[in-house]
Amino acid sequence: MPLSHIDPIAARMFAVEVVKKLRQQGYEAVWAGGCVRDQLSGRVPVDYDVATSAHPDSVRELFGRRHTIAIGAAFGVITVIGSKASGNVEVATYRSDAEYVDGRRPVGVTFCDAQEDALRRDFTINGLFFDPVEEVVVDYVGGQRDLDEGIIRAIGDPSMRFGEDHLRMLRAVRFSANFAFPLESHTRDAIDLLAHQLVLVSPERLAAELRLMFSRIGRGQALRLLVGTGLVNPLFGGRLNKTESFWSSASDALDALNEPSLPLTIAILCREEPELVAGICNHLRLSNYERRLAAWLVEALSVLSAKDAGSDYSHAPWSRLQPWLAHEWRFQLADIVGSLAVIHCFSSEKVAWVRQQVQRTDAELNPSHLLRGNDLLQLGVPSGPVVGHLLNQLRSLQLDEKIISREAAVEWVKQQCVDE
């Protein structure tokens, strides 16, 4: 269920109900992780996790099998299904993880108490618990102090935490950038040392993390940290060997986006080398939509930045620009053009013109064709490639307002037939 559809008030009420129901049966139960962090930092949580002493089978029995999902039961996690407004709540049994052998997950778990559960988590600000009934913070890892001081610190030995799950290095970067908290020195050193192990993380998990990282506040700083820690090379499969000035400019452009996303990020990073788009999208196993959008944006940027387009597009043929500015993705294109203007890839005049064009109605941007293929056949044009060729020519003349009526179009086609 998309978090954007969740009502924060309904989500909180449901998360309180889950805790109370567990407590009524004699179990310990508290909120855990990100919802506690966000609440204490002044953000409004919409996604709640509950940690409890109840074992998975007990959780399912209490809430009913029809109202729970047991996909994560092997790791002590049961999803309790809420309403569309509240969303679901993940209920996880306090656990201690066994050895990690694949850089992602433990070979097994042992149910334990709250303190041991906190100590196996990734960062101190994510290791906090909160009792929503008594409204008390439970902190075994110094997370409240680090949240107050504004720092991202791994729990325990950073190298051990990142060795258990290599994706945690990307999460550290995302939290640091999103919260504008620096990385604690030992945590940063461990990332510098272990960055190469990111190649062991599955592409799907990398992409999921990048979608979060590059769609939120701090995305430019996130890119700077990826470069500074050496994570950027294994992250993109060594395809982006860029200068320091390029990374700095790209970071500024990312921050200037109004509707940031991973495809727009890839377009900014590949704007000078369009041939890299397919390789990066394949490397991260992005969706077909993301691949198409990133590639389309890079090609569109190439057209809009061509030298013969003019300083403000006033002399550029509309027929050349129209396929891009009338496209369903034109608003993403206008967004990225505006962001690249910040680093002087486009003039302010061009940005203003593009923004003006994309706001026009569909009828203005994409007027009905004056003639269709059947019309040409009835005029005596032989079937075959020549029909498509003439239609394309006619469309360009129409868009450039050199032929503006059906009658003029018919006369033009007849003349072409005579000339041939």
Mean pLDDT of 276-286: 97
SS3 string of 27-76? CCEEEECHHHHHHHCCCCCCCEEEEECCCHHHHHHHHCHHHEECCCHHHC
131 with 25, same domain?
A: yes
How much of the chain exceeds pLDDT 70, in percent? Answer: 94
Last residue of a domain, one of 204, 235, 266: 235
Q: Which domain holds residue 333?
A: 242-366
49 with 117, same domain?
A: yes
Return the percent helix, strand and coil in the chain, to nearest 5. Answer: 55, 10, 35
288 with 220, same domain?
A: no
CATH number for the domain spanning 57: value is 3.30.460.10
Range in 15-29, 261-275, 396-410 the model is least confident about: 396-410
197 with 248, same domain?
A: no
pLDDT of residue 41: 92
Determine how β-strand 77-80 pairs with β-strand 136-138.
unpaired
pLDDT of residue 193: 97
99 with 212, same domain?
A: no
325 with 295, same domain?
A: yes
143 with 168, same domain?
A: no
The secondary structure element, H or E, covering residue 138 is: strand 136-138
143 with 10, same domain?
A: yes
Instruction: Tally the domains of the chain.
Output: 4
Mean pLDDT of 169-192: 98
The token pair that represents 163 in the structure block: 């060795």
Q: Is 100 helix (H, G, I), strand (E, B) or coil?
A: strand
Residue 68 C-beta-side C-alpha neighbours within 13 Å: 19
pLDDT of residue 110: 83
**Four-residue CA torsion sign, 227, 230, 235, 237:** positive
Burial of 407 from C-beta contacts in 10 A (0-12 / 13-18 / 19+): exposed
Last residue of a domain, one of 131, 149, 167: 149
CATH number for the domain spanning 180: value is 1.10.110.30
